[in-house]
Amino acid sequence: MKNKDQFDALEVVHEELDQNGRKERAPRRVLWMRCAAAAACALALLVAFLKSPFFKSKFGKEEASGQAGESFAVQAEYPEPVAEQMSVNEFYENDAHWDWWESYRKLTDRSSKLQPGLQGFYTSMMGQILGSGDDNIVCSPINLYIAFAMLAEVSDGETRQQVLDMLGSTDIETVRAQVDALWQSNYVDTPVLKSLLANSIWLDQSVGYNSETLQRLADQYHASSFSGTPGSAEMDEALRHWTDENTGNLLTEYTKDMKIAPDTVLEILSTIYYKATWQDVFLAQNTTQEVFHGTQGDSTVDMMHRSDMMGVYRTDKFSAISLNLMDSGSMVFYLPNEGIDVRALAADPEVFEATKPIENEAWSYPMVHLSLPKFKVTAKTDLIETIRALGVTDALDHTVSDFTPLTTEKDQLYVSKAEHAAMIEIDEEGVTGAAYTQLELAEGAAEPNEEIDFVVDRPFMFVVTSRDGSILFSGIVQNIQ
């Protein structure tokens, strides 16, 4: 069976589900980049996923359930691909490109006016994640912003305020407007540019949740919610499959270990997949083997070369050059000046000035003979200490946290996991990247009413039981050698 036939079969699965009660057809967001064998495997896995307890459920506003013990889901809507059947050249030569570009330009113009409100978050988060360590590191600030915006949405009181402060916003309405603008201007699916955002939340089906909160996450954050049994192999497999599908299978070295702990009440997943082409590509025949002088010694790399009139941004700390991407933004490369540690640039606000299309005295336009190494960087970061350093402390402490907008059945929830994984790769053609942020809310143990010392320093007895109460082992210990 050819790839197309296999994916057509996948569509049939969706259509059959529609006939069996689903309100809306799930949008096609699978990245068609697999060989025939991988496609068949993905099809089998998705069919199993769709048959799982937490996907075999209701969709749509009027059918979203908040009752404990009932498996349910709320499916978010995603834009349809633009000119999906066209090649890159056909798209550029067709009116479809002009029509799309006109509407897209209006969305990006609206979002650009809100960007100053995000710079504080970007600066502080990048300073924390990128500003230390000797290894290569990569993160996705927009992905992190959206993930923590969802955390703000399910929290309240001082817990929410601390998250809002980290996000650089004064109120949740501002965050909602920011996320909406970010989503509208950064979700792109055309033959030329792929910038695919996705969100999901994973719930314990034994807990009752606020249906208005779940629907708001679906409507305003495009977050689909799924319920099941945390800690089950089935739910873990579905979580990994969803994350891999929405990151183009580019982060499998990290997702293979993804699990939902048994005590999890909420799992937040936010992803991004990105693929763009240089506006002016590098010629492969010009790529040569050159030496790269790293902090751990010299290495031989593939160095791409191009000569052209280019804009260069210079400060007393760095020089930067910006390369445009087709139908997208640009990729900026920063070289620290002599005596400046490159890690010090991560929290430097002036770094963002080199990303803005504003003419000032820092810009010049010489003939540039650019030599740029091909590279791929992947990294996984534990965010717990990062967000603690940025002032989010209540969400990490079950005795003071407030997540009542999510559920009132659990009053001691806290963020038990906060992880971020990302990758970026460049070659002669362009840029490919992916990232996900995983936030986990678990229930903390209740504070004891009594304190005692229980010191096993004399003869004792033990009993081991199974889940059904059977006694598997029992004994008495009187001496320990």
pLDDT band at 254, cuts 50/70/90?
Answer: very high
Examine the domain organization and report whether 181 and 84 are in the same domain: yes
Query: What is the maximum alpha-carbon separation in the chain?
Result: 87
pLDDT of residue 346: 84
Examine the domain organization and report whether 313 and 424 are in the same domain: no
Measured CA to CA, the distance from residue 61 to residue 59 in angstroms comes to: 7
Examine the domain organization and report whether 433 and 401 are in the same domain: yes
- Asked whether residue 63 is domain-assigned, the answer is yes
Examine the domain organization and report whether 411 and 391 are in the same domain: yes
pLDDT band at 264, cuts 50/70/90?
Answer: very high
Measured CA to CA, the distance from residue 151 to residue 405 in angstroms comes to: 10
Examine the domain organization and report whether 272 and 130 are in the same domain: yes
Over pLDDT 90: what percentage of the chain? 44
pLDDT of residue 451: 61
> Between 141-153 and 116-130, two packed helices, what is the crossing angle to 10 degrees?
110
- Asked whether residue 345 is domain-assigned, the answer is yes
pLDDT, one tens digit per residue, over 206-242 is 999 998 999 999 999 999 999 999 999 999 999 999 9
Examine the domain organization and report whether 252 and 401 are in the same domain: yes
> Between 172-186 and 95-112, two packed helices, what is the crossing angle to 10 degrees?
160
Examine the domain organization and report whether 241 and 294 are in the same domain: no
pLDDT band at 298, cuts 50/70/90?
Answer: confident
pLDDT of residue 168: 95
Number of domains in the chain: 2
pLDDT of residue 318: 85
pTM of the model: 0.81
Average pLDDT for 440-456 = 67
Examine the domain organization and report whether 300 and 235 are in the same domain: no
pLDDT of residue 458: 65
- Asked whether residue 346 is domain-assigned, the answer is yes
Examine the domain organization and report whether 265 and 313 are in the same domain: no
Examine the domain organization and report whether 357 and 381 are in the same domain: no
301: number of Cβ within 10 Å: 17
**pLDDT for 87 beyond 60:** yes
- Asked whether residue 475 is domain-assigned, the answer is no
- Give the range of the structural domain holding residue 178, as residue numbers without chain letter: 3-277+377-443
Measured CA to CA, the distance from residue 107 to residue 393 in angstroms comes to: 35
**pLDDT for 114 beyond 70:** yes
- Asked whether residue 354 is domain-assigned, the answer is yes
> Between 172-186 and 141-153, two packed helices, what is the crossing angle to 10 degrees?
140
- Asked whether residue 480 is domain-assigned, the answer is no
The radius of gyration computed from the CA coordinates of the chain, to the nearest angstrom, equals 25
Examine the domain organization and report whether 11 and 64 are in the same domain: yes
Examine the domain organization and report whether 316 and 399 are in the same domain: no
Q: How many residues does the chain have?
A: 481
pLDDT of residue 453: 63
Average pLDDT for 123-144 = 86
Domain-terminating residue out of 318, 347, 373:
373
What's the mean per-residue pLDDT of the chain? 79
225: number of Cβ within 10 Å: 25
Higher pLDDT, 206 or 20: 206
Query: What CATH number has the domain bearing residue 358?
Result: 2.30.39.10
**pLDDT for 454 beyond 70:** no
Is residue 474 within 8 A of residue 460, CB to CB? The reply is no
Query: What CATH number has the domain bearing residue 237?
Result: 3.30.497.10
Domain-terminating residue out of 373, 398, 420:
373
Q: Which of 31-35, 134-138, 393-397 is predicted most confidently? A: 393-397
Domain-terminating residue out of 317, 340, 373:
373
- Asked whether residue 467 is domain-assigned, the answer is no
- Asked whether residue 256 is domain-assigned, the answer is yes
pLDDT of residue 60: 31
